[in-house]
Each structure stands twice: as structure tokens, then as C-alpha cells.
Amino acid sequence: MIDFKKFSSYSKSGPRYTSYPTAVEFSENFTQETLQEAFLRNDKRKDIPLSIYVHLPFCKSACYFCACNVIYTNSEEKKERYLGYLRKELEILKTHMDTRREVVQLHFGGGTPTYFSAKQLEEVITLIRSTFTNFASNAEVSCEIDPRHFTEDQMIVLKNGGFNRVSFGVQDFDEKVQKAINRYQSMELMQNVVGIARKHGIFSINFDLIYGLPYQDINTFEETLKKAISLKPDRFAIFNYAHVPWIKRTMANIDESTLPTPENKLKILEFTIKFLQENDYKMIGMDHFAKADDELYLASQKGELRRNFQGYTTRGFSQTIGIGLTSIGEGVDYYVQNYKDIKKYEKALDEGKLPVERGVVLDFDDILRKEVIMQLMNNSKLYFYKIEEKFLIDFKEHFAKELQALQVFVDDGILEITEEGIFANPTGSMLIRNIAMCFDAYLEKIPQEKRRFSKTI
């Protein structure tokens, strides 16, 4: 049995490690010229395929829990204008990189991608496929979907465009919680949209749920889980709500006194893991679950998972090309982010430039630590020999200080360090962000009181 009171003390500000170095280290010194050089270096790696991320940023209204980069609008003209600028961005992109390389992943995120009409979605898909012409036959092609904005016509367009996965944002079924986060969607609505996806041959459906929202407790979340599994999704992503009103102003609409304590969040998480496992969903990484025959689980068993800004993928490392407002790209040795301000985004494209706002070039130590952190985040374990063979180091010697810092987790019985490697037990997997933080060379330079990250619990 977990001592929740004891382990809730681990709740502290810390990165989610969708990247390393984290976005805090991105700098405006990273320019379009820097990106062009990075493209040239990465184009030489013919063994590394491409992953395409397209950000469609518009939403009709604010969901108070959401930390995504969004624009609230009812304007069709704004959406049409945005599509025109996506076209410009892709035209410029073709002149700076080899878009004939194999594509193994395409993801539409937002905002609300399905806030765009079926016709508009078809236009985006045509733009992408006419730019990147070499899609792998087994490419993972997915779209985030707000069930409140989803029609059969949109599903037909997605299916015809090669989409084989969808992810529905469910969050919570409890009406009191929904009211507090300004996100209303009924069980009947979810039954309808899942039925549409299944009807059109989508055999990989993910549900996003969030724990740590206002008024949640084990009893209310159990009801949400029961309703969710009755719809038979293939995967779950169970996210920890990150309350960061200093970053996202809409979160200030949430009454902090209604949020579960770190101790209660841990209880909800432990219950969720147990409940889903009892219902034949296997835990993957720190926040994903899948059926035992799902390729995500099979990849996790082989140690082949990879985590990127879209979650876990089975496709191994790929160079991510971020397209659209705020999108983040990732290469072997760089990260880059497009402008968040739409006027600056448009201005750059009007001038024939890629809309680069900031980024970072990775040195040897960054790439090494990134591999260590991602191994832990992906698999809750790390084998020393894999790092030693890839980077030609003696792990215990190189990371002597970090291994010493991990001793507190060993003493608390949630981590084991052997001659072979580092192994987190189920409780350690729940605290894997804290464990990964020991290898973050940038974090130790930021005083605790100045760390503007979400809480790890």
C-alpha cells in the first residue's frame, strides 16, 4: 500500500519532459538561418524518417483546464486566412528541406482541428500530401478531436485522407466537474462520435482523461472510468492537470480550493492504474494505457517506445516538422518553435521566411541527457549498456552525481539501481518526472522558487 501522505511530498515544480532541453531553454538566438543549417545536417540522415505535426489553433470557446496554444473565434474568415498561410509556409518549407523523405507519422493537433469544416480539413490534407509525397504504408496518421465539434462528413474526409487513429478529448464525465472547467459533453454525445469513428474503420481510438480537476475524487473518477471503458477505446491517455494560471489566464477561472490535494491526486492515479489494469488495459510510460494486443503496448515490451510532443509513438525516432502557429519541430540535434503571435507568424511568411520564433541547438551533453531522460520517461527503466554503447561513456562514472541524487528514491523503496541499470517500480513510475529531474543539467541552475513548471503530482 502506498503511503500517500509521504509521497505527496514529492509534489514540486518540474518539467513534463516532452523535450530535453525543455522549452524554457529555447532562445530567440535560434533564427531561420539556424534552422536552415539544422535542416541541411538532418537531411543527410536518410535513416531517420519524418513526422509531421500540423497545428490548427482555433477553438469556439475556452476550456478552463486547457494549456494549449489556442485562438478563440467564431470567424470563418480567420480560418480561411489561416489555411492560406499554411499554404505559404509549406511552399517556403519545400525550398529549405528534402520533403521527399519517408513520412511515418502525421498528427493534427490544436486548438480544435475539427473546428475546421470537412472541406477545410480536406484542403489541409491535400496541402500536406502534395508537399510530403512519400508516406510509409504503415504511417501513423492521427487527429485530436473535440467530440462537440465532429461530424460524419469530417470523419469521411479524414478516412479518405489516410487517417487511421483518432483521439477524443473526454476529460471527465461528471457534470459538476464539467461545469467547473467549462467543458460540457454528454455520454450520449460520446457514444455517437465513437460510433461514427468505428463505422468508418477507425480501429485505434484514444480517450484523453484528466485527473486533478476541480471537485474530483476517487468516487467521481471511478464513474468516469466506468463510462469510458463501456465505450471500448483502444487506448487511454490519463493526464495530470497542470494548474499554471500564470501561463494560461483562463485557468484563473478555476477555484483553486476545489482542486484535489497532491495526496488525493496520487490516490486517484493509483486507483486509475489498478482499475484500468483490471479491465485489461496495460500501463505504458507514465500516463498511457493500451490493450495487450495494441502495438503501443507491444512496443513498450520491446523497449521501442518514443515520447514526443504528441505523446508516445511506436515509430522510433523521427525528425518532427512542426507546421502552423506555435508548432514545435525536433531534429537529431535541435528544437524549433514557430511564432505564437499570429501577426508575427503571418509577417514572416509574407516576407518569404519560415516563421521561426525560437529554438535550441543541442550539444553532445544535451543529446546524451535527452536519451537518458527519454529512456526513463518511456520505459521507467534504463540499461547502462545501451547508453554506454551509443555514447562511448562509462555511465556510473559519468553520472556519479546523478546516481547519488537518486538514492533518496532508492531509500524510499520506489527505485532500484543495480549493476545493469535503473529500474522504477509501479510507484516509481508514478513519480518518474521526479526521477528524470535528477539528470536535468539545466534545472539545477534554476532556484526552486523560480521554477515556473507545473507540479509533478
Per residue in 195-210, pLDDT (tens digit) is 999 999 999 999 999 9
Q: Over the stretch 423-440, which tens digit does the pLDDT of each residue have?
A: 999 888 888 999 999 999
Choice among 60-64, 266-270, 305-309, 420-424 with the minimum mean pLDDT: 305-309
SS3 339: coil
Stretch (H or E) spanning 319: strand 319-323
Q: Which fold has domain 1-13+363-449?
A: Arc Repressor Mutant, subunit A (1.10.10)
Residue 12 has pLDDT above 80, yes or no: no
Q: What is the pLDDT of residue 309?
A: 74
Cα–Cα distance measured from residue 439 to residue 442, given in angstroms and rounded to the nearest whole number: 9
- Which of 344, 342, 323 shows the shortest CA–CA distance to 86? 323
Q: So what's the pLDDT on residue 224?
A: 98
**pLDDT value of residue 217:** 95
Other Cβ atoms less than 10 A from the Cβ of 456: the count is: 22
How far apart CA 150 and CA 162 sit, in angstroms, is 17
Percent of the chain residues topping a pLDDT of 70: 96
If one compares 165 and 246, the residue with the highest pLDDT of the two is 165
- Cis check for the bond before 57: say yes or no (omega within 30 of 0): no
| Residue 191, CA distances (Å) to 27, 48, 170, 194, 300 in order | 45, 39, 12, 5, 29
Q: Are 309 and 19 in contact (CB under 8 A)?
A: yes
* Local structure of residue 3 (DSSP, 8 states): -
Q: Where are the domains of the chain?
A: 1-13+363-449, 22-323
Please give the Cα distance from 23 to 328 (Å, whole number).
Answer: 10
Question: Is residue 2 predicted with pLDDT exceeding 80?
Answer: no
In contact, 165 and 121? CB cutoff 8 Å = no
DSSP assignment of 124-169, as one string? HHHHHHHHS--EEEEEEEEEEE-TTS--HHHHHHHHHTT--EEEEE
**Per-residue pLDDT tens digits for 282-327:** 988 778 899 988 888 888 777 777 777 777 777 778 999 999 999 9
List beta partners, residue 338. 356
Q: What is the mean pLDDT of residues 94-114?
A: 95
Q: Distance from CA of residue 165 to its chain's centroid? A: 15
Mean predicted confidence (pLDDT) in 176-193: 96
**Main-chain phi, psi angles of 370, to 5 degrees:** -60, -45
Hey, is 90 helix, strand or coil? helix
Burial 418-435 (b: 16+ CB within 10 A, else e): eeebbebeebbbbbbbbb
Same fold, 1-13+363-449 and 22-323: no
3-class DSSP state for residue 235? strand
Would you say residue 14 has pLDDT above 90? no
How many CA atoms are closer than 13 Å to the CA of 281, on its beta-carbon side?
A: 27
Predicted confidence band of residue 4 (pLDDT cuts 50, 70, 90): low
Are residues 85 and 345 in contact, defined by beta-carbon separation less than 8 angstroms? yes
Q: What is the mean pLDDT of the chain?
A: 92
What does the pLDDT read at residue 295? 85
Q: Domain 22-323 maps to which CATH number in 3.80.30.20, 3.30.450.20, 2.40.110.10, 3.20.10.10? A: 3.80.30.20
CA 323/CA 43 separation, integer angstroms: 17
